[in-house]
Amino acid sequence: MKITILDGYGLNPGDLSWDSLASLGDLTVYDRTSPAEVVERAQGSEILLTNKTVLNAEILRSLPALKYIGVLATGYNVVDIVTAAELGITVTNIPSYSTMSVAQMVFAHLLNVTNSVEHYAGENRAGRWSRNPDFCYWDTPLIELAGKNFGIVGLGHIGMAVARIALALGMKVLAYTSKEPEHLPDGVKKAGLDTLFRESDVVSLHCPLTPATRNLVDARRLSMMKDDAILINTGRGPLVDESAVAEALQAGRLRAFCADVLSTEPPTSDNPLLSAPRAYITPHIAWATKEARTRLLDIAVANIRAFLSSTSANTVTP
């Protein structure tokens, strides 16, 4: 069984072991694969693993030996699953491996805004506290979260984990969700989208990217938000209109925008959010704790084992 990983570096830059995968067949791992290299590198492979390397219809039709594609992520839009199904190729993904890591990043961003830890640590490394005439100083707003409204758009696994943390911090949680109110945890109140944006002090996006949710946060919706509200996006970059968010920050109509995802990754240098004031951008690393990546690899191996035993695990279909 020939197994090829097209872009293994993102999952394993060297701190994990491929041994569990290697035990299943003849394994070849490429750190990165350009579009022009995909067919040559994948040729003859029965099992192909990809994270962000695109496998379109043309490529799939060029790989007659291919029986299985494992997407090393939750989103599987990099694979033409309609063509894969036509060709009898099984496609799997990795759900729910990074729930707590992503929820943790939401609050890392939020606490960075409310408490400015990095700012004060830097000031003190430069000697400011040592020179200060008083026992303490502050030159940024210091914000207590307890009692404030935390709006969550999308209450899946990650959204629910975020809700639990927000409740533990004493916040009031509003959720835009398809779940019925009686099925929500205590302390979580169902709200319409516009109500959520108007009333929340913090809004965190956790909905899937669909035609209906693309640019969900646009100029109109931003105008509904409180001027001191904080917007957080650890879901998908295109959920927000990036130019509209940058304009809101420039105009002082938003306290902060925090994101771990952008519409194009890596972003172009002229992305307006990279230079906007109070925009805090991390490079799509919420999923990348060692613990989450270990779970991802373990699930990937389990998916392949299930396929080899003619059972099904995390199979995606058109």
pLDDT in tens, 98-119: 999 999 999 999 999 999 999 9
For 146-165, what is the mean pLDDT? 97
Mean pLDDT of the chain: 97
8 Å CB contact between 21 and 301: yes
Average pLDDT value for residue range 83-107: 97
Quick one: pLDDT at residue 187?
A: 94
Quick one: pLDDT at residue 291?
98
The gap from C-alpha 156 to its chain's centroid, in whole angstroms, comes to 13
Closest to 48 in 3D by CA, of 95, 81, 15, 90 = 90
C-alpha span between 223 and 244 (Å, rounded): 10
pLDDT of residue 118: 94
> Amino acid identity of 115?
N
What's the mean pLDDT in 179-198?
A: 95
Let me know the angle formed at the C-alpha of 10 by 97 and 19, rounded to the nearest 5 degrees.
75
Q: Across residues 76-90, what is the average pLDDT?
A: 96
According to the model, what pLDDT value does residue 265 have?
A: 94
Amino acid at 17: S
**At 21, is the pLDDT very low, low, confident or very high (cuts 50, 70, 90)?**
very high
pLDDT at residue 161, rounded to an integer: 97
Catalytic residue positions, numbered: 236, 265, 284
pLDDT-based confidence at 42, cuts 50/70/90?
Answer: very high
Q: What is the pLDDT of residues 230-242, one digit of tens each?
A: 999 999 999 999 9
